[in-house]
Amino acid sequence: MRGSSFRKAVWEVLLTIPFGHTMTYGEIARRLDCKSAQAVGGAVGHNSISLIIPCHRVMGAGGSLTGYAGGIERKIRLLRMEGGL
């Protein structure tokens, strides 16, 4: 995948989220020592292979369901299928 070093770092974190678990944008930002959960969200949104790099496992603050390129309903179905919702 092509992207900036920051985007690639975010995508690497996404690959560490286990099946059936979630992580927030803020948690990813802290892991990368980044001050902006919004910047993380931008990188997550540029993931062009979401079936391989599981961006549906990323939640908003407090576990809120936030944007997903495939649509929120699909995100909910994926999380339920994994037992993470």
Q: Is the pLDDT of residue 3 over 80?
A: yes
- What confidence tier does 66 reach under pLDDT thresholds 50, 70, 90? confident
Which tokens in the block code for residue 45?
A: 């949104």
DSSP annotation of 58: E
Q: Which residues contact 74 (CB under 8 A, 6 or more apart)?
A: 56, 68
Which residue in the list 43, 53, 55, 78 is annotated as catalytic? 55
Mean pLDDT of all residues in 6-22: 95
User: Is the model's pLDDT at 71 over the cut of 80?
Assistant: yes
Joined tokens for residue 61:
């603050």
In the numeric block, which tokens belong to residue 81? 């299928």
Our answer to whether residue 34 is catalytic in this structure is no
What average pLDDT does the structure give for the chain?
Answer: 91
Backbone angles phi, psi at 76, to 5 degrees: -60, -45
For residue 46, what is the DSSP state?
T
Q: Residue 73: is its pLDDT beyond 80?
A: yes
The per-residue pLDDT for 2 is 87
Q: What architecture is the 5-82 domain classified under in CATH?
A: Orthogonal Bundle (1.10)
Provide the residue ranges of all domains of the chain, joining segments of one domain with +. Answer: 5-82
- Give pTM, 2 decimals: 0.89
